[in-house]
Amino acid sequence: MPLTVTPVPCLSDNYAWLLRASDGRLAVCDPGEADPVIAAADALDGRIDTILLTHHHGDHVAGVADLVKRYGCTVVGAAADAHRLPKLDLAVKPGERFELFGVPVDVIASDGHTRGHIAFHLPDCAILLCGDTLFSLGCGRLLEGTAAEMFDSLAALAALPPETLVCCGHEYSESNARFALSIDPDNAALQARAAEIARQRTEGRPTLPTTIGEEADANPFLRAADVAALARIRAAKDNFR
């Protein structure tokens, strides 16, 4: 695999994602905090060359300034969100492709949680960096976008190959599993995934990445039949305790 990906826990429940090339070069997606990313890079005797940003929220960008100051990183993010992001060196648009360490990266529109949200798909590595659009057994809150926008965004991600690694922004899997089971209790794939999540968290391990195939089988948001169904499920999750 040209690049490998590793979660770096940040803040209370965020993940930044560290991408490592075969020659040792490093990139990071959504560094909500600098120190854990620096520690992860130091452990590999490396330096962060590139920062990828999916959206503007502080818990995904707060570490950028310190990383740029330390490493002189190239910062990549959405042109449509550039006014709310840290200063970009490369502003990209959905449908475009760029290269990261010689590996192609496709930019996918992911509106819904926020407008201007993007995801990064690395087809040669089966990696999806999806920020707060798709979660393990969940999806992002509709803070700026609509259910229709989120439905379209999830449909685009669901169309990716089933082995694609889903690298999302938060460790929400346990609470998402409880909600998913409350509305789809007879789903065997969901039951198995919930049991695995419980084991992972008991052992202190991340529940991520998951895969597009696993989400297609168990994630109620990805399985919603239409916009109205997604809107109902999202509203129910917003009020779930």
Give the model confidence (pLDDT) of 175-233 as tens digits: 999 999 999 999 999 999 999 999 999 999 999 999 999 999 999 999 999 999 999 99
Q: 180-188: which pairs have CB atoms within 8 A and are 24 or more residues apart?
A: 180/137, 180/138, 180/218, 180/219, 180/220, 182/240, 183/220, 183/233, 183/236, 184/220, 184/223, 187/217, 187/218
Of 119, 150, 141, 113, the C-alpha closest to 227 is 150
Kindly tell me if the per-residue pLDDT of 144 is higher than 60.
yes
- Residue 60 annotated as binding? yes
- pLDDT at site 96: 98
- Residue 57 annotated as binding? yes
172: CB partners within 8 A, 6+ apart: 13, 135, 136, 138
The answer to whether residues 28 and 61 touch, using CB atoms and an 8 Å cutoff, is no
| Mean pLDDT confidence for 137-153 | 98
Q: What is the pLDDT of residues 10-20, one digit of tens each?
A: 999 999 999 99
Q: What is the pLDDT of residues 149-167, one digit of tens each?
A: 999 999 999 999 999 999 9
- pLDDT at site 2: 86
pLDDT level of residue 1 (50, 70, 90 thresholds): low
- Residue 170 annotated as binding? yes
Kindly tell me if the per-residue pLDDT of 125 is higher than 80.
yes
Q: What is the pLDDT of residues 77-122, one digit of tens each?
A: 999 999 999 999 999 999 999 999 999 999 999 999 999 999 999 9
CB burial class (10 A; 0-12, 13-18, 19+) of residue 201? middle
- Residue 113 annotated as binding? yes
- pLDDT at site 31: 98
